[in-house]
Amino acid sequence: MITCVIDYTIDPAKTADFERFAAEWIRLVNEHGGQHHGYFLPAEGASDRALALFTFPSLARYEEFRALFGEHPEFIAADRIRDESGCVVRYERTFMRPVFAGDSPTA
């Protein structure tokens, strides 16, 4: 299992656009083999930072999902929200291995 954590720098004046972008990607991840854990937007503190977390059963399954970028019309439309609005200034993607309640420690 692999969790993708995306750390976004967003334009605080375009939060509504970012939320539209987020809603589309939540739907797409969930429809294409992943489990989206949500987007986390600024509440207090830095007003230009947001996070997204979603999990796929494996890195290989995530790569199958990534292969749809730039090809699948709904993926292109979701990215168009980001690109046309300018709501995302930059982002950084990190892959992590989740530990859930009840998981056994690895040796």
SS3 per residue for 48-88: CEEEEEEEECCHHHHHHHHCCCCCCHHHHHHHHHHHHHCCE
Q: Rounded distance, CA 75 to CA 71, Å?
A: 7
CATH numbers and ranges of domains, the chain: 2-96 (3.30.70.100)
Q: Rounded distance, CA 17 to CA 24, Å?
A: 11
Among 5, 71, 4, 8, which Cα is nearest to 33's?
Answer: 4
Could you read off the pLDDT of 24-76 as tens digits, one per residue?
Answer: 999 999 999 999 999 999 888 779 999 999 999 999 999 999 999 989 999 99
User: Looking at residue 107, what is its pLDDT?
Assistant: 59
Strand partners, 51: 7, 40
